[in-house]
Structure 1
Amino acid sequence: MHQLTLAEIARGLADKQFSAEELTRTLLARIARLDPQLNSFITVTEEQALAQARAADARRAAGENGALLGAPIGHKDLFCTKGIRTSCGSKMLDNFAAPYDATVVEKLAAAG
């Protein structure tokens, strides 16, 4: 699943080839397996990602079908995410937890 394009993910979710939760679990497992060597993620919000995936699956089951609905997206550590460590890769901001969501984070959340 990690080699699918965003368009293929959207199609797979729409065609019920896999659920958002199944996709998210697969990608989280890959991150857990490979990130110790790659060091590509500063913060992984596994529980939040799974809760959002379940919510996206429920929205799809209710008939909603947005293009990004259920597609897992990892974003850079420079976009503030409320209550989540947002260090911008800086030691000075290492313990900063954002008090709000950046606009792009709000829009991605609304898209599911």
Structure 2
Amino acid sequence: MAAKLRRGPDGLVAAVVRAHDSGEVLMVAWMDDEALHRTLTTGRATYWSRSRREYWVKGATSGHHQYVRSVALDCDGDALLVSVEQVGAACHTGHRTCFFTDLPVSSPEVTP
């Protein structure tokens, strides 16, 4: 899979993380080749922290673990979809998902 990845200039690829059971989007994180390798071989979601410049296993300090059930590569090779069994909150703020702030949208009328 790593050979098919289209990484950014920093060597990273976006990892969209969703709940395996519901499909709910939980968070977005970043992976490099080593983080992906660790994720695939351990079954524990491992990411690259751009701010701390280090690997982190989700839940190692918070106890809010992610057990990986599947990983898929998108059609362009520039994003991963990681399906996990989420234990506790996925967001560092304590929310189940990082996507808890809705923005107003003006939607056009839908006609059949």
Do Structure 1 and Structure 2 share a fold, with TM-score over 0.5?
no
Larger radius of gyration: 2
Going by fraction, where is helix more abundant, 1 or 2? 1
Q: State TM-score, norm by structure 1.
A: 0.27
Q: State TM-score, norm by structure 2.
A: 0.27
